[in-house]
Amino acid sequence: MENVISLNDIVVSFDGETVLNNINLDIKDKEFVTLLGPSGCGKTTTLRIIGGFIQPDSGEVIFENKNITKLPPYRRNVNTVFQKYALFPHLNVFENVAFGLRVRKLPEKEINKAVAEMLELVNLKGFEERNVQNLSGGQQQRVAIARALVNKPKVLLLDEPLGALDLKLRKEMQTELKRIQQSLEITFIYVTHDQEEALTMSDTVVVMKDGSIQQIGRPVDIYNEPQNAFVADFIGESNIIDGIMLKDRLVAICGHEFECVDSGFDEKQPVDVVIRPEDITLTANADEKIHGVVRSVTFKGVHYEMVVDSSDFSWLVHSTKAPEVGSEVGILFGPDDIHIMNKMKG
Amino acid sequence: MDKKFNIGQKLVASPYIVWVAVFVVVPLLMVAYFAFFGDEGKFTLEYIKSVGQYSDIFIRSIWMAAVATIICLLISYPLAFILSRMSKKTQSTMLMIVMLPMWMNFLLRTYAWMTLLGNEGLINHLLGMIGLGPFKMLNTVGAVILGMIYNYLPYMILPLYSVMEKIDPSVLEAASDLGCNRIKAMFRVVVPLSIPGIMSGITMVFVPAISTFIISRMLGGGGNMLIGDLIEMQFLGNAYNPNLGAAISLVLMVIVLIIMAAMHQLDSSDDDRVLL
């Protein structure tokens, strides 16, 4: 597939503080890409660079093989769904959606047709004459999406569009956005801090932290093979334990040796060992290499979340079965469940 | 409980109601009384009818106030917009500079223009140094309009600014995102959203400008009499005739109300269509 957008060596700083540090990112056509990271990681800035609202200090933005770094937003073939929707308060639903078409001076007939189609797509048929300020958050969101999509952009940018909605509505809109993206076959670039949202909707997830990209990959790969402890911790919950690599496929954790599947590290190299809470099995046998006392059990619906204190680490464990609080348990995990990562710098 | 609260509310509001009654309603009724009832207390339309002979002064006042208002709007609009997009800190400094002349006495400010514009004034003096002039600037229509603009400009800037300041920057970004360059964004988004500010700015400049008498007296000489001068003459001047003065005031008030009502009509009926 063709790259529709490429960011090359993008650097941005505000007031001497580096916000984006050498971002390189290729986005393929018709892809659903999510920029994921905690607040202040630079994900929104990256989006605004693509939209043209911020000029990078250095680096270039390539759009379909053309350098558009210096182009203002109104000359780019991308449209944005803003975080707080930014609907035009003086226009009704129809005119909000029609705005971009009117600016381009399309004939009235075409405008009517295109707007009607869009309102249908976002399930807002019959709302044409409504005042946008009297709509619910979810409805305003749909107007914002329709207003952007009616221009048939090559790429749609979405800046935490579901952040202000309640959980149930958010889930609905996630499915809906994915449906819209697939039916229109356009590229979505989606910014969120919600890892679950990112994993559910995306073809590709870009994990960011402190202005740089930590990992780019499919949701499954990001989850199963995080490249560092930050990604592992940010995507789902993790136990991150200090370990020492003894040799290929052998690691020392908590003073015991464990077989693992990773290789290529130096001998005696300190590493981060990541074990997912759902990969741990608790046994009644307290003679295992690692064992501890169950400190707490919390019911989470599908599973129980437990904290087990061993002599030098508190383990987070997810399981559908829960032992008694205070009981002695063994902690078991297989070689496949151990993920070895280079220690994070800093 | 509810009732008590209502009584409490009424109590709190009562001083204002008394104030409005004593200082607004009663004087208005008195003006109307003077306009319609002669010295003997008999109803008459004589005063109202005789207002007609001053129609040229009315027309002059209206067009001069209108010109001053339009120029104020043209100057203030971009200024207020730029101001509203500055950083909060710069905004407050700039606002202070805008309001600074208002802290100076009105007469003094206007008097200062006399010394600037006079035949022997500073401007003609400077022009004379490069071999131009002297030009007659004082005691002209232009000088009066200039005085109006200078004195009432802040009353146009402030309401415009306070409306524009509330326009979310992301709405302007959205306009840009949807294909508007700066000028298009201005006409399609900023102007429609700032109509309330435009309306109150026009009101706050036009109304005092149409009834001013100091500015025309000081900068217009005797030749550019406005309604304000005419009214003043009926109460304090040689032409002492309070009944006629009241009648002129009443007619002026009605004219202003009609103009304002017409403008608001225009505003609300054009709400959606002004952009198309």
Phi, psi of A260 (to 5 degrees): -140, -175
Domain with residue A56: its CATH number is 3.40.50.300
Let me know whether A191 and A303 are in one domain.
no
Of A199, A229, A259, the position where a domain reaches its end is A229
Of A229, A254, A286, the position where a domain reaches its end is A229
Distances (CA, A) of A181 to A32, A76, A121: 8, 19, 11
Q: Residue B5: what pLDDT?
A: 62
Q: Residue A264: what pLDDT?
A: 85
Q: Residue A288: what pLDDT?
A: 83
Let me know whether A172 and A303 are in one domain.
no
Structure tokens at A114: 């295109």
Residue of B nearest to A81 (CA): B174
Q: For residue B170, which residues of chain A lie inside 8 Å, CB to CB?
A: 82-84, 86
SS3 of A152, please?
coil
Let me know whether A209 and A298 are in one domain.
no
Let me know whether A129 and A190 are in one domain.
yes
Q: Which residues of B207-234 are buried (b: 16+ CB within 10 A; e: fewer)?
A: bbbbbbbbbbbbbbeeebbbbbbbbbbb
Q: What is the pLDDT along chain B (276 residues), one digit of tens a residue?
A: 455 567 888 888 888 889 988 999 999 999 999 999 887 878 888 888 889 999 999 999 999 999 999 999 999 999 999 999 999 999 999 999 988 888 888 889 888 999 899 888 888 888 888 888 778 888 889 999 999 999 999 999 999 999 999 999 999 999 999 999 999 999 999 999 999 999 999 999 999 999 888 898 889 887 778 999 889 888 888 888 889 999 999 999 999 999 888 888 877 654 443 333
Who contacts B232 (Cβ-Cβ below 8 Å, separation ≥6)? B213
Q: Residue B9: what pLDDT?
A: 82
Q: Residue B4: what pLDDT?
A: 56
**Can you say whether the dihedral through the CA atoms of B208, B212, B216, B222 is positive or negative?**
positive
Q: For residue B174, which residues of chain A lie inside 8 Å, CB to CB?
A: 80, 82, 86-88, 147
Return the CATH class of domain B54-275: mainly alpha
Let me know whether A215 and A314 are in one domain.
no
Is B166 touching A (CB cutoff 8 A)?
Answer: no
Does A99 contact B175 at a Cβ distance shorter than 8 Å? yes
Q: Residue B185: what pLDDT?
A: 94
Among B87, B177, B193, B270, which would you mutate to test the A interface (most chain A Cβ atoms within 10 Å of its Cβ)?
Answer: B177
Q: Which of B176, B188, B271 sits opposite A73 (nearest CB)?
A: B176
User: How far off is chain B from A94, nearest CA to CA, in Å?
Assistant: 11
Q: Residue B271: what pLDDT?
A: 47
Q: Residue B268: what pLDDT?
A: 65
Gap between the Cα atoms of A52 and A79, Å rounded: 10
Mean pLDDT by runs of 10 across the 346 residues of chain A is 90 93 94 94 95 95 94 95 93 96 95 95 93 92 95 94 87 92 94 92 95 94 89 88 90 90 87 91 86 91 91 90 90 90 72
Let me know whether A84 and A217 are in one domain.
yes
| Maximum C-alpha span of chain B | 81
pTM above 0.90, yes or no: no
Residue of B nearest to A83 (CA): B170
Percent helix, strand and coil across chain B, each to the nearest 5 = 80, 0, 20
Of A209, A229, A249, the position where a domain reaches its end is A229
Let me know whether A85 and A163 are in one domain.
yes
Residue (of A208, A204, A158) closest to A36 by Cα position: A208
Residue (of A285, A281, A287, A275) closest to A313 by Cα position: A275
Let me know whether A135 and A193 are in one domain.
yes
Q: Residue B222: what pLDDT?
A: 75
Q: What is the ipTM of this complex?
A: 0.82
Let me know whether A8 and A129 are in one domain.
yes
Let me know whether A327 and A286 are in one domain.
yes
Let me know whether A278 and A324 are in one domain.
yes
Q: Residue B275: what pLDDT?
A: 37
Let me know whether A164 and A249 are in one domain.
no
CA dihedral of B75, B79, B84, B87, whole degrees rounded to 10: -170
Is A45 touching B (CB cutoff 8 A)?
Answer: no
Q: Residue B220: what pLDDT?
A: 86
What is the extent of the structural domain holding A246? 238-342
